[in-house]
């Protein structure tokens, strides 16, 4: 069906409200906008749906939400798990509550009892609720840290993790087979509640979640010791972390928790930041000003749905410096291993999980301390699956999981990124170092001296336009066809092609099988210890090149990052390997 035909079908459907119909009537004489909105649909994948809000098949709106929920409900019904029910959560964005209630109404109309939070809640609390109440699955309405124009639809399985590829494919198949107007069952929210098909979650679920979070506190005496002299500034970036994160920090024992007042106000417009992404240090401007004013020792910021967290700490000049996700993760690994052993809580056969594009310093920090470090593909659904499989088979106990994009998971009560728990652990770690006269920047320097000078850079090769996917595929196929023996003058020792799981030793030509396969990623291990990975983005028109370097000094590390970063940039312009 053409974009024009689909556009006309929506207008003739009789389903639209007056304002929705007016929105579409306004673009009648704009063929480019009609094509943009109706030329294709939002693609349902393992991360669910995400897109700009508005009317159309290629926009996030209530009809798309109902359509996806109908498909997910049918998947639950087909598995015979309707009685387990589903959980629904949402963030602070425009339309999020409306979309969440729409999802609940579809579940109810399909005979699936639904638990919905009374108001916005952190993403990890949705993962927790699915597990806590034994639900068949869950839905979270959120676009994480995307711009204000976006919203999204994340789908979770019974284990509290985002859907794996097979189940996501089944939901997509059902969506493709159903009409979003005529094949969707729904009912009024009030009627669903009256029939006992809706349960509202509130303070009781918050408390159960917080008790699990605070059960991970390892050395509470350290926080008590520093309570009067340690000051922390917190910002939720206008999002949902504003209540549970400060409460968790208070339960840790901290007294001087100063919240950035403007950013404590939930607001889907995110008015005080250019981007609500804590990975961008410029978003911390207000928090840093406040930290300078109150003499804070640490700044913590969580993204709008509170699944990612970033920190800033004082450097030797007294200025606040941002830690990367890789750096914060390595600090947590090293400290956590020590704290678990000091308190006698280290399990047998401990394991740390990281993604293939996350710093190799994590492996050094874990293995030098007798803890295995295993890789997964990018995405916490893969780390959740690895944790589930390892522990079910008795092959290891996962004590910590993280990825470079400021996502961290600890404990057994969630299966997704958890900024509430990570904020608690980061604060407890910072207090531990504070009691020893060190900031997290000091601590990081000590780890460089101990494990080596690791550093990372990600190069984004943007490929927009209709031919973007073709150019991305051409670059990847070109790299596979022309295997480099050296990169930027350094010999390539080994290449892993994660698409077919082949590991090739360049010198001998021998091949072996990788533990991981089925993802379009190439990994180059160089003779100087540097690792370079090339990976097409699953959500944006770009190829990401990850440079994971190591040097014997900070200068050598910097030189290698610059050298291999330049090689990565050259891939887009010249295709040279």
Together in a domain, 191 and 45: yes
Q: Select from 99, 90, 36 the least CA-distant residue to 64.
A: 99
Decide if 13 is inside a domain.
no
Decide if 22 is inside a domain.
no
> Which residue is catalytic, options 144, 401, 405, 423?
144
Together in a domain, 178 and 244: no
In sign, the C-alpha dihedral spanning 317, 246, 267, 16 is: positive
Decide if 27 is inside a domain.
no
Q: Is 133 helix (H, G, I), strand (E, B) or coil?
A: coil
pLDDT digits (tens, 9 = 90+) for 400-429: 999 999 999 999 999 999 999 999 999 999
Please say which residue of 392, 418, 451 terminates a domain: 451
pLDDT digits (tens, 9 = 90+) for 28-84: 999 999 999 999 999 898 789 999 999 999 999 999 999 999 999 999 999 999 999
Q: Which domain holds residue 45?
A: 40-201
Together in a domain, 383 and 305: no
Please say which residue of 451, 478, 493 terminates a domain: 451
Together in a domain, 522 and 503: yes
Average pLDDT on 109-136 reads 98
Q: Is 182 helix (H, G, I), strand (E, B) or coil?
A: coil
Phi, psi of 428 (to 5 degrees): -65, -40
Q: Is 280 exposed, middle or buried (0-12, 13-18, 19+ CB in 10 A)?
A: middle
Q: Indicate if the pLDDT at residue 573 is higher than 90.
A: no
Decide if 81 is inside a domain.
yes
CATH number, domain of 286, equals: 3.40.120.10
Instruction: Determine the pLDDT at residue 575.
Output: 41
Residue 464's pLDDT band (boundaries 50, 70, 90)?
confident
517 belongs to the catalytic site: no
Together in a domain, 537 and 446: no
Together in a domain, 51 and 191: yes
CATH number, domain of 480, equals: 3.30.310.50
Please say which residue of 451, 470, 504 terminates a domain: 451
Together in a domain, 279 and 410: no
Together in a domain, 419 and 564: no
Token reading at 407:
């996502």
Distance of alpha carbon 12 from alpha carbon 25, whole angstroms = 11
Q: Indicate if the pLDDT at residue 131 is higher than 80.
A: yes
In sign, the C-alpha dihedral spanning 139, 415, 311, 212 is: positive
Instruction: Determine the pLDDT at residue 468.
Output: 85
Distance of alpha carbon 67 from alpha carbon 568, whole angstroms = 41
What pTM was computed for the model? 0.96
Decide if 10 is inside a domain.
no
Query: Please, what is the average pLDDT of the chain?
Result: 96
Together in a domain, 228 and 108: no
Together in a domain, 458 and 445: no
Task: Please count the structural domains in the chain.
Answer: 4
Decide if 23 is inside a domain.
no
Q: Select from 323, 302, 329, 282 the least CA-distant residue to 233.
A: 302
């Amino acid at each position: 069906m053409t974009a024009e035909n689909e556009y006309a079908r929506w207008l003739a459907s009789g389903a639209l409200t007056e304002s929705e119909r007016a929105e579409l009537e306004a673009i009648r004489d704009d063929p480019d906008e009609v094509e943009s909105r109706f030329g294709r649909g939002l693609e349902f994948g393992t991360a669910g749906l995400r897109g700009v809000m508005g009317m159309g098949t290629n926009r996030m709106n209530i009809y798309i939400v109902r359509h996806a929920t109908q498909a997910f409900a049918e998947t639950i019904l087909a598995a015979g798990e309707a009685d387990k029910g589903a959980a629904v959560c949402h963030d602070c964005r425009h339309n999020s509550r409306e979309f969440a209630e729409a999802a609940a109404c579809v579940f109810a109309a399909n005979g699936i009892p639904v638990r919905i939070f009374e108001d916005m809640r952190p993403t990890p609390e949705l993962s927790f609720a699915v597990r806590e109440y034994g639900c068949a699955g869950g839905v979270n309405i959120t676009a994480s840290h995307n711009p204000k124009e976006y919203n999204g639809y994340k789908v979770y399985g019974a284990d509290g993790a985002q859907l794996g590829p097979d189940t996501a494919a089944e939901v997509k198949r059902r969506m493709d087979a159903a009409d979003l107007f005529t094949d969707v069952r729904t009912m009024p929210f009030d009627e669903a509640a009256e029939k006992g098909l809706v349960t509202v979650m509130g303070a009781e679920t918050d408390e159960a979640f917080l008790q699990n979070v605070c059960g991970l506190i390892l050395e509470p005496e350290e926080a008590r010791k520093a309570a009067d002299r340690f000051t922390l500034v917190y910002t939720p970036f206008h999002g949902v972390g504003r209540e549970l994160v400060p409460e968790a920090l208070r339960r840790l024992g901290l007294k001087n928790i100063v919240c950035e007042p403007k950013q404590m106000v939930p607001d889907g417009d995110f008015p005080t930041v250019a981007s609500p992404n804590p990975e961008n240090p410029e978003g911390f401007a207000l928090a840093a000003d406040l930290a300078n004013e109150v003499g804070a020792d640490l700044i913590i910021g969580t993204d709008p749905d509170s699944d990612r967290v970033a920190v800033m700490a004082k450097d030797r000049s007294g200025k606040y410096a941002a830690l990367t996700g890789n750096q914060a993760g390595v600090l947590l690994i090293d400290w956590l291993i020590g704290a678990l052993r000091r308190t006698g809580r280290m399990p047998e056969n401990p394991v740390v999980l990281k993604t293939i594009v996350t710093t190799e310093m994590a492996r050094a920090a874990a293995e030098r301390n007798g803890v295995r470090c295993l890789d997964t593909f990018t995405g916490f659904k893969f780390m959740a699956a690895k944790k589930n499989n390892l522990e079910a088979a008795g092959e290891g106990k996962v004590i910590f999981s993280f990825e470079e994009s400021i996502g961290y998971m600890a404990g057994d009560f969630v299966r997704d990124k958890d900024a509430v728990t990570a904020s608690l652990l980061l604060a407890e770690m910072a207090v531990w170092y504070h009691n020893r006269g060190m900031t997290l920047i000091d601590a990081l320097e000590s780890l460089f001296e101990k494990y080596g000078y690791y550093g990372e850079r990600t190069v984004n090769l943007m490929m927009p336009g209709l031919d973007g996917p073709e150019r991305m595929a051409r670059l990847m196929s070109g790299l596979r066809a022309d295997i480099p023996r050296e990169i930027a003058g350094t010999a390539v020792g080994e290449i892993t092609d994660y698409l077919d799981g082949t590991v090739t030793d360049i010198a001998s030509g021998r091949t072996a099988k990788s533990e991981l396969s089925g993802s379009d990623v190439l990994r180059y291990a160089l003779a100087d210890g540097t690792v370079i990975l090339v990976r097409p983005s699953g959500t944006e028109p770009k190829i990401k090149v990850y440079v994971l370097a190591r040097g014997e000094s900070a200068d050598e590390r910097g030189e290698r990052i610059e050298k291999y970063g330049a090689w990565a940039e050259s891939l887009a312009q010249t295709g040279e390997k």
